[in-house]
């Protein structure tokens, strides 16, 4: 890895296609901006179409030649995830880069998605699990595609309770969030294990302490003091998505200040994220809850209909 890697080191991505979820603000917006600057065709997946339109226009003001598409994507509704995937499959032959970036954090009271999932688990993990599965055929149609799942440093605090994934017995806002960020890493690792023979690279990244809208319920004041900008916070995701030679199963985060800031570097996975058994059991639970199954053995280049 190059010392002090920055967005200026992103290789040209002309002819490549990318999807970024949660693209209208924070590190998602910066990810879109830099992928577009490098020449990629970028789809902005946004829940709020008005904010998505504003973000798209901001990128175009900075990069008039940017090739961008805005699509509504509400990860808290599996129907929206399916509709998004259907539109993408109809409009493009392949997908080179999927950045599973969107998220919610520390919602004060237990809230449910339209499908009845605890909101943080539904958006941060299940929504992205379903989206990746529904786009698997398009990813495998590309040459060396990548799936980047954005986690968090708090994944190290997470405890995955397979008997209480929906926080029904006890809801702790940050505990539920940490569980979803650990789930992101377990998903990344199990996806990597399953796609190894197929040249799809599954990796993860975390932004460290980065000032974004994510901290509206927790850590807002301290993050404003110690945090870095979204331009810095997006670098691990951008490195994971674009740098040559990235190995499947890798995890990237900021290099400096105990992982809170600085240029991207390879970081260690939390202990529980390395559990093959836990990853498999979470995968099976996620298939059951979402109805999306990754049909690797029966159809290596396709995913079963949800």
**Selected catalytic residue, list 29, 171, 177, 251:** 177
How far is Cα 51 from Cα 251, in angstroms, rounded to an integer?
Answer: 30
How far is Cα 128 from Cα 122, in angstroms, rounded to an integer?
Answer: 9
Burial class of residue 184 in the structure, from the number of CB atoms within 10 Å of its CB (0-12 exposed, 13-18 middle, 19+ buried): buried
How far is Cα 62 from Cα 173, in angstroms, rounded to an integer?
Answer: 37
How far is Cα 147 from Cα 141, in angstroms, rounded to an integer?
Answer: 13
Does 177 participate in catalysis according to the annotation?
yes
- What the block records as the tokens of 181 is 């960020």
Smallest CA-to-CA distance from 19 within 48, 43, 46, 50 is with 43
How far is Cα 146 from Cα 12, in angstroms, rounded to an integer?
Answer: 15
Neighbouring residues of 182: CB distance < 8 A, sequence distance ≥ 6: 151, 155, 158, 159, 160, 270, 272, 273
Smallest CA-to-CA distance from 58 within 279, 46, 235 is with 46
Q: Is residue 202 classed as helix, strand or coil in its secondary structure?
A: strand
Angle at 19 between CA 262 and CA 35, to 5 degrees: 45
- 72, 89 in Cβ contact below 8 A? no
Phi, psi (rounded to 5 degrees) for 168:
-75, -35
Give the containing element (helix H, strand E) for 222.
helix 220-226
How far is Cα 302 from Cα 177, in angstroms, rounded to an integer?
Answer: 31
Residues tagged active-site? 177
């Amino acid at each position: 890895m190059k010392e002090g890697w920055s967005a200026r080191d992103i290789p040209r991505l002309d002819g490549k296609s990318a999807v970024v979820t949660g693209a209208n603000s924070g590190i998602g917006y910066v990810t879109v901006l830099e992928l577009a600057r490098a020449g990629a065709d970028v789809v902005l997946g946004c829940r709020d179409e008005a904010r998505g339109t504003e973000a798209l226009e901001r990128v175009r003001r900075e990069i008039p030649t940017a090739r961008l598409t805005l699509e509504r994507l509400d990860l808290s509704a599996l129907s929206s995830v399916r509709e998004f995937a259907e539109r993408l499959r109809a409009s493009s032959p392949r997908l080179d880069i999927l950045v599973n970036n969107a998220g919610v954090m520390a919602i004060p009271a237990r809230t449910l998605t339209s499908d009845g999932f605890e909101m943080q688990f539904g958006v941060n993990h299940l929504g992205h699990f379903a989206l990746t599965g529904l786009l698997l055929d398009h990813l495998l149609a590309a040459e060396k595609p990548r799936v980047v799942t954005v986690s968090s440093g708090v994944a190290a605090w997470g405890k995955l309770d397979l008997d209480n994934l929906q926080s029904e017995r006890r809801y702790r806002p940050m505990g539920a969030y940490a569980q979803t960020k650990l789930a992101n890493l377990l998903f990344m690792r199990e996806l990597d294990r399953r796609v190894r023979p197929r040249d799809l690279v599954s990796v993860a990244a975390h932004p460290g302490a980065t000032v974004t809208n994510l901290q509206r319920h927790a850590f807002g004041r301290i993050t404003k003091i110690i945090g870095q900008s979204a331009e810095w916070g997006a670098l691990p995701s951008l490195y994971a998505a674009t740098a040559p030679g990235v190995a499947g199963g890798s995890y990237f985060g900021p290099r400096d200040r105990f992982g809170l800031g600085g240029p991207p570097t390879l970081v260690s996975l939390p202990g529980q994220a390395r559990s093959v058994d836990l990853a498999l059991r979470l995968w099976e639970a996620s298939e059951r809850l979402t109805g999306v199954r990754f049909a690797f053995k029966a159809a290596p280049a396709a995913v079963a209909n949800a």
